[in-house]
Amino acid sequence: MIGQVPEPEKKGMSMKRFVAAVLLALLLTGCAQAEQKKEFDVQYFDYFDTFTSFTVFAEDEKQFQEYAGLFQSELESYHQMFDIYRSYDGLNNIKTINDNAGITPVQADEEILRLLEFSLEEYEQTDGKVNVAMGSVLSVWHDYREDGLANPGRAQIPDFWTLQKAAEHTDIGKVQIDREKSTVYLSDPAMSLDVGAVAKGYAAQRICEKLREAGVTSALVSIGGNVQTIGVKGDGKPWRVGIQNPDTSSSKSYLHALNLQDQALVTSGTYQRYYEVDGVRYHHIIDPETLMPRQDLASVTVLCPDGERADALSTAVFNMELEKGIEFVESLESVEAFWVCEDGSQVYSSGFEKYMAN
């Protein structure tokens, strides 16, 4: 089971540098090929503004460095493309698209086009419960959250009129993708994209695909808790991954351990980014219908073979009432989910428990 995320030893680490912790113990089981492989870990702190780890079984240090180099290069590329806060020389990213809303179409990388096309599909499938065109609303909440964290005694929530005015600019139909010209245009000048509900899962999925193409047969990727596994561990056993307890005051850090092989696991929860106003916690997952954070759930974990889908669905299901969320998940093929309600009660989809470790 993945343990507590360690605190970085040094803040402000350069994006070109990473901390590598290498475990060189020889595996004691399995075939001759497995016995030759060793487990290597590498950790990053500056991509997607979160903690990222990469664990891989490789033949030797040289092969590990090749895999780690590929992983870091791809991670940095996706981080920059999907960034909504920063610009990068020579790159049109999501921020560039937002900056040109109502002005001009923006030439976009194939990966951005694919991400947005996938997001449009998920919007339709989830009846709008995950909407990357919610940037105007999410930015209001972001500003209030940042102010509340900086000045807890004066923390406030946005008034509903402000949220309603922002919500007038969240029509995903105004995200115009021109495949022939490879451009994206936001026809509403007050609209902005926020791909936080899909970007990390999409990146994890694509990076794992490229790692497989490079010859990786056994690895675990975690981007801010978006976990994706390739194959099994070097000893032939499944990867064991823990589901974090949303009650951070509890002495029990993890609720369950799951055995995973070629699966993605993503959790959306109230414990990740939040602030408090008058003793009430306001987290970062905003329901597109109410424009408020839901208060009935503490976390939703989604398990499926596809990382980008797991990421999108975890947000969408979190924004559904429990009964509707259960019905929705049960209607999907190869998707399982686990709910933790605000009162601490736990609910599983019909096939979830078979992944739980004994």
Kindly report each contact of residues 230-235 with a partner whose C-beta sits within 8 Å and lies 24 or more positions away, as own/partner. 230/262, 231/261, 231/262, 232/261, 233/39, 233/57, 234/27, 234/30, 234/34, 234/37, 234/38, 234/39, 234/57, 235/27, 235/28, 235/29, 235/30, 235/34
Question: What is the rounded CA–CA span in Å between residue 60 and residue 36?
Answer: 8
Predicted pLDDT at 27: 31
Q: Can you give the pTM of this predicted structure?
A: 0.87
Predicted pLDDT at 18: 31
Predicted pLDDT at 358: 65
Residue bearing tokens 């070109």: 16
Domains of the chain listed by start with CATH number: 1-82+196-219 (no CATH), 96-186 (1.10.3980.10), 238-358 (3.10.520.10)
Residue-by-residue DSSP string for 76-124: HHHHHHT-SS--BTTB--HHHHHHTTTT--EE--HHHHHHHHHHHHHHH
Provide the residue type at 289 as one letter. Answer: E
Residue 111, Ramachandran bin (φ over 0: left; ψ between -120 and 50: alpha; else beta): alpha
Ranges under pLDDT 70 in the chain? 1-36, 358
**Reduced to 3 states, what is the DSSP secondary structure of residue 68?**
helix
Predicted pLDDT at 225: 78
307-318 and 199-213 helices, crossing angle to 10°:
160
**Reduced to 3 states, what is the DSSP secondary structure of residue 65?**
helix
Predicted pLDDT at 13: 37
Cβ distance 300 to 110 under 8 Å?
A: no
Q: Distance of alpha carbon 181 from its chain centroid, rounded?
A: 29
Question: What is the rounded CA–CA span in Å between residue 344 and residue 297?
Answer: 9
